[in-house]
Structure 1
């Protein structure tokens, strides 16, 4: 068993379980990111792309409402109007989503990654809106006070992130079967599960939806990888 993978797995689990305000999770994620980058530089690449591209689209969104919708932040400190937390959030959530599918072929990563990112936002956005860290302007179609355009925007931005990543990396990666192909998707699921367990009464419904959605997708990822590995092994 690879020690760096194991240490990173433990750090991420502890960071999620023992943190209600995301600070411990962010620190654990950065340490895990650095450790895993010694194994595969892809983790650092996806983190940097997520942070940079996420920031660019957040800046665009604040100015034009594209692609997320119209919103206002109340979450200092800022970088050109975008909270530093949000910039790093894009990077860390990209890292977490990629980690769940790091052994998948590049073509499959493109669509799965984008859905994983949206599911994370299904958990995070209701919490942050409820805490007053940002405010959405009213819209006709919304999800517990959050415009549907926000989730469409997340999908689009995530798609840009993973496509640029794929262009940089090409098809150089080789899939390998190890226990972490199954454990890291569980880390991804633990994230919305922990939010739901500690949810305030008014947030139980949206966080339950996010948790169940994450459970379904995580189960599919693990099952799909198991089937794929059996086929590869036979061939």
Structure 2
């Protein structure tokens, strides 16, 4: 086995499969078998990646916690926005997205789940975190970065699925290729709530560490591949011969495809390249394998992470050295009193 490449090569293959499935979706003709079944291939690759990758890093219980958080938060905010227009804006789903759970399509929730975990993992990779437990202050940084990565993906996804394919309709339209700017503000807010809740759960119940994944390059290379897999569709759309019919907004489909491809090349592609560079780089030596909550006590009373002095909160002990006993001659005062001879305790 090549040094640095562990037993997670299957994760890399899943990333390549997701890329191939999205590319096939772009190349397939409307109504054809390729266009119909390629999304199932992508969904299968994302689902297997999520269970394998998340379970190996965080454990089975973390999988259930992440699923519960994403489904509850995602469904609640989607329902609120469909009914009130807050926080995404006024829109409604079409029958293309059936079946529904209330006002929300059932298949929207797995999209939140799989791309949410990909964004979370990408955020940890960008911040140099290769442990399961989050280091100090990372419980606030990771959710913010992950939410930003979700917005980058939605910049390319929403115009295609809404304006072009009509899976959902923005009632008031929008300035960004038919999508309102409020959608992206709401997208950041909702996904941040998901990630922040998961971070709190990880902090309260830190998972066991897996030292084997820290230097496993295939485990980390798979993350940017999965996160950016939809770029395989977005970049190919402009070069495929599509139906030039206009959508309800009056915007030419080919113009949207070209705009989204440009946006993808400025968002998802740079994140992909950065992720591959970070994944292939050896892990930093300061990466700790043990959980921050578990510290070992040394015989001197300090923990394994403490240093003597100011950093540990206690003053460092002064250096000591043995001094030889000094023997002096007895002194006699003028009054005749003789000073007692000092005793030598070293004898």
TM-score (norm 1): 0.84
Q: For 1:135, what is the secondary structure of its paired residue?
A: strand
Q: For 1:14, what is the secondary structure of its paired residue?
A: helix
Cα shift readout 1:9-66 (whole Å, capped 9, x = no counterpart): 3123203312425321112211222223441334554344223211111001111111
For 1:19-168, list aligned pairs within 5 A.
19=22, 20=25, 22-39=39-56, 40-41=58-59, 42-43=62-63, 45-74=65-94, 75-103=97-125, 104=129, 105=134, 106-107=138-139, 108-129=141-162, 130-138=164-172, 142-168=175-201
1:181 to 214, 220, 233: 220
On the 8 A contact 2:15/2:229 being kept in 1, the answer is: no
Q: For 1:66, what is the secondary structure of its paired residue?
A: coil
Q: Distance in 1 between matches of 2:19 and 2:72?
A: 24
Q: Distance in 2 between matches of 1:232 and 1:216?
A: 27
Q: For 2:169, what is the secondary structure of its paired residue?
A: strand
Q: Distance in 2 between matches of 1:170 and 1:101?
A: 17
Unaligned runs of 5+ in 1: none
* Number of aligned residue pairs: 233
Match of 2:233 in 1: 194
Q: Distance in 2 between matches of 1:125 and 1:90?
A: 13
Looking at secondary structure, tell me which structure has more helix per residue. Answer: 1
Deviation at 1:228, TM superposition (A): 9.4
On the 8 A contact 1:69/1:149 being kept in 2, the answer is: yes
Q: Over aligned residues, Cα RMSD in angstroms?
A: 2.9
On the 8 A contact 2:120/2:143 being kept in 1, the answer is: no
Moved more, 203-212 or 67-76: 203-212
Unaligned runs of 5+ in 2: 26-37, 243-253, 288-347
Moved more, 202-211 or 214-223: 214-223
Moved more, 65-74 or 93-102: 93-102
